[in-house]
Chain A
Amino acid sequence: DVKVTQSSRYLVKRTGEKVFLECVQDMDHENMFWYRQDPGLGLRLIYFSYDVKMKEKGDIPEGYSVSREKKERFSLILESASTNQTSMYLCASSSQTSSFPYEQYFGPGTRLTVT
C-alpha cells in the first residue's frame, strides 16, 4: 500500500514563527503536492514538485515555500506564519505513469492553527 505520512496531525504556532511541515512517501513517486483545505473553498494547490529540487507554484503560493532535496520527502515552509494560514494542509504524491491529473495518494493532513 502506498503510504504518505505527514510529520504532525495537529500543530499550533504563533504569528511570525517559521513553520515546517514535512511529508514523506514510500512509493518512489515522482510527483508531490501540497494543498490547503478550507471550508467552502475545497482543496487549493500551493506548490508541487515533479522531480528532486524541482518545484512549481500552484494557485496560492504566496507566503509559502517548499523544499525537495530527496525524492521521498517534500517540505512546506511558512516563512512567517500568519493567522490567515490557519488551515488543514494536505500532502499528496503520484506517479507520472498514470493519466493526468494522476491518481494522487494523500496523507492524513496537518491541522495548523496560527494564533
Chain B
Amino acid sequence: LAKTTQPISMDSYEGQEVNITCSHNNIATNDYITWYQQFPSQGPRFIIQGYKTKVTNEVASLFIPADRKSSTLSLPRVSLSDTAVYYCLVGDMFSGGYNKLIFGAGTRLAVHP
C-alpha cells in the first residue's frame, strides 16, 4: 500500500514562507497529489492539486519532483489565519478504482505573531 509521511507539527511566524513536505511511495502513476487545509471544528478544504513540477494558485504553490516520491506545499507569507492542519492526499498504486485514497496523518502548523 502507499504510505505517506508528514511532519507532525511545524511552527512559523507571520510573514514567513512555510514549506510542508509529504513523502509518499507507491503512489498511482496517473493520479494527482492533493493538499487540504483543516481548521478546528470544520471539514478539510481543498488547497491545491498537481501532477508534476510546480503548480501555483492564489493561496499556495505545490512542488513535485520528477520521481513523485514527495510533494512540498509552500505557503508564502503566512498569517495567523493559516494556523491549521494540512493534509496530503494521494492514490495508492496497488489498489483499484476508488478504493485507493490515502490521506497523510496531517501537519499541524502554528503561526505566531
Contact = CB atoms under 8 A, between A and B. Distances in A.
Given A42-B87, A43-B87, A50-B98, A103 B106 contact: no
A56 B45 contact: no
B99 A101 contact: no
Contacts, number: 66
Interface stretch (A11-19, A62-70, A71-79, A105-113): A105-113
Interface string B84-107: 000101110000011111011110
B42 A99 contact: no
A109 B101 contact: no
Contact of B45 (A44, A45, A57, A106): A106
Nearest to A48: B98
B34 A101 contact: yes
Indicate the size class of the contact surface on chain A.
20 to 34
Contacts of A99: 31-32, 49, 51
Contacts of A103: 34, 46, 49
Given A103-B46, A108-B41, 12 more contacts: A45-B101, A48-B99, A57-B99, A58-B99, A58-B101, A59-B99, A99-B51, A101-B31, A101-B34, A103-B49, A106-B43, A108-B43
Interface of B: 28, 30-32, 34, 36, 41-46, 49, 51, 87, 89-91, 97-101, 103-106
